[in-house]
Amino acid sequence: MEYNITLIKGDGIAEEIANSVMQIIEKAGVKINWDIQLAGAKVVEDEGSPLPQRVLDSVRKNKVALKTPVTTPIGKGFRSVNVQLRKELDLYANLRPCKNIDGIKTPFNNVDIVVVRENTEDLYAGIERKIDDESAESIKIITKKASKKIAKFAFDYAIKNERRIVWAVTKANICKLTDGLFLDCCREISKDYPSIEYKEILVDNLCMQLVQNPDKFDVLVLPNLYGDIVSDLTAGLIGGLGVAQGANIGEEYAVFEPVHGSAPDIAGMDIANPTALILCAVEMLKYLNEYPAANKIEKALYKILKEGRIKTPDLGGHSKCSEFTKEIIKNIN
């Protein structure tokens, strides 16, 4: 089987980590015709937008994309590429699994949390205005339709992946109408899934408990803003941005992307950690039902990380991204 897949090549470390992943997938034996689409700060000058229409057209055509990070130019009136992509393609679910990896030292060794973040509304609807020189406002949108959809996604994910508990996370004690509506929808959907335990927690309490007893948590379902913040926290629990994977999934399209940004401070130095993008590629292969190749890559990656001989500086090592990649390729068989 051959696949046409969009590779959104962004800025900073995008080139290095994309090259790593393309070589690894090739070694694992999956034939992909990469439709490479440049995006981000580097295309703004020529094309007038960090997310030109051709990128969206390519994802619409191919249905699946692997995305590297892009830099959104600050203060130039552009909407975030990521927010726009999610909105345009109705990628309503942002999935961020966070599980400890052997060989990566963290304060906890029993973290296995899946963050399911609503991706299309909340304060990210982008409805903001300046009232006067002294004040500005932003509108938080929560709808029944989007809240039920994300709750259903979380419970379906829990069933498919044999998880035990879904936690609905809000600040419904303060945002009574908006978060209250989100919570009502989670409660309603939970009734359709009697085999999964349903629990609720306020987001501030969750944050405290995540850094004390992360093993208590399983699948978390959250509105957009809390999901964004909490998923960086859970990424920190397993070793940081270099190893945190993510996926944006809708009914028609799926875009797999790491949590981290374009890391301009280390761009071009061949020291970026490609692990997060490799894990995204593994999830993408599973989404395509290419389980044998996905498992081979996962096994080789985890072996190298566990051995700890070859690791990038963000994990305390001295190796190059290209050396780490070569070592993984050597171990795929």
Residue placing its CB nearer to ligand NAI in the complex, 184 or 232: 232
DSSP per-residue string spanning 179-207 = HHHHHHHHHHHHTT-TTSEEEEEEHHHHH
Could you tell me what percentage of the chain is helix, strand and coil, using 3-state DSSP and rounding each to the nearest 5?
A: 45, 20, 35
Number of residues that bind ligand NAI (CB under 6 A): 21
**Which among 320, 236, 324, 232 has a CA at the least distance from the CA of 278?**
324
Cross-strand partners of 117: 94, 222
**Binding of ligand NAI at residue 55 (CB under 6 A)?**
no
- Asked if 77 interacts with ligand NAI (CB under 6 A), we say no
The correct pick among 66, 70, 206, 238 for binding ligand NAI (CB under 6 A) is 70
Nearer to ligand NAI, 214 or 242 (CB): 242
Structure-token match 């409660």, residue found: 187
- State in angstroms the smallest separation of the CB of 308 from ligand NAI: 16
The tokens of 234 are what? 């859970």
The mark string for 212-251 relative to ligand NAI (x by CB under 6 A, - otherwise) is -----------------------------xx---------
Residue selected from 6, 20, 62, 72 as contacting ligand NAI according to rule CB under 6 A: 72
Whether the CB-CB separation of 161 and 286 falls below 8 Å is answered with no
Q: In the complex with ligand NAI, which residue's Cβ is closer, 30 or 85?
A: 85
Contact call for residue 82 and ligand NAI (CB under 6 A): yes
120 contacts ligand NAI (rule: CB under 6 A)? no
9 contacts ligand NAI (rule: CB under 6 A):
no
DSSP letters along 255-292, please?
Answer: EE--SS---GGGTTTT----HHHHHHHHHHHHHTT-HH
Chain centroid to CA 92? 12
Query: Quick check: 314 binds ligand NAI (CB under 6 A)?
Result: yes
Q: Rounded to the nearest 5°, which phi and psi values hold at 26?
A: -60, -45
Question: Residue with the closest Cβ to ligand NAI?
Answer: 261
Task: Confirm or reject binding of residue 311 to ligand NAI (CB under 6 A).
Answer: no
Question: HSE of 17 in the Cβ direction (CA atoms, 13 Å)?
Answer: 35
Residue 33 beta carbon to ligand NAI: minimum distance, rounded to whole angstroms: 24
Residue 41 φ then ψ, to 5°: -60, -35
Binding residue for ligand NAI (CB under 6 A) from 147, 178, 262, 325?
A: 262
Geometric angle at alpha carbon 12, from 7 and 17, rounded to 5°? 50
Residue 84 near ligand NAI by CB under 6 A? no
- Residue range at the interface with ligand NAI (CB under 6 A); choices 63-71, 98-106, 174-182, 192-200: 63-71
Residue whose CB is less far from ligand NAI, 181 or 315 = 315
Q: Kindly report the length of the chain.
A: 333
Residue 147 one-letter amino acid: S
From the list 111-119, 227-235, 255-263, 284-292, the region that binds ligand NAI by CB under 6 A is 255-263
CB of 22 to ligand NAI, least distance (A): 16
Binding site for ligand NAI (CB under 6 A): 10, 13, 69-72, 82, 241-242, 257, 260-266, 272-273, 276, 314
